[in-house]
Amino acid sequence: MNAAAAAQRDVEMPFLSQNIAGLRTPKIDSPTILRGTSERGITLLDENISLRKTSEDFEEAADTIIKLAEIERSMELIGLDVKTTRRKVGILEHVIIPKMEETIKYLAMKFEEREREEKIRLKRTKQVLLKHRKN
């Protein structure tokens, strides 16, 4: 019981962020949780080898859990960003680009029509001018 009470301590972990491909992901700046025997509050006389080993294993596991939590959250955020990007790409491929292509075809058709009308108008104007010159 003495060892368990002595082993309690608060660990401060500042949460930072890092930039991965333009996405802000968490970065936990965790100090190493591993401690020496004296920091655990256990004297060499009180210490049992299995207690020390268990304590070290726990500290390593806690350190690994912190790193895994950072990686897991980063992967979640990256996954959400990929999902959002897929949606945007889908909208572009299936909605916006086809509409733009349709608009381009329509405008090309209108420009061709105007060009034909302009040619006809010029021919008529030329005919009228030739008629007036002959008279």
Number of domains in the chain: 1
Give the residue with greater pLDDT, 66 vs 89: 89
pLDDT tens for each residue of 89-122 = 999 999 999 999 999 999 999 999 999 999 999 9
Quote the tokens at residue 21: 């491909």
Q: Domain span at residue 43?
A: 2-89
Alpha helices of 10-96 — where are they, by DSSP H?
Answer: 49-91
Instruction: For residue 9, give the nearest of 58, 67, 70 by alpha carbon.
Output: 58
Domain assignment present for 67:
yes
Domain assignment present for 120:
no
Domain assignment present for 80:
yes
Domain assignment present for 134:
no
Domain assignment present for 72:
yes
Domain assignment present for 39:
yes
Domain assignment present for 132:
no
Name the one residue in this structure whose structure tokens are 């726990």.
58
Mean pLDDT for the stretch of residues 80-95: 96
Contact predicate 64/33, CB 8 Å: no
Q: Would you say the pTM of this structure is higher than 0.75?
A: no
Residue 26: the pLDDT is 83
Domain assignment present for 15:
yes
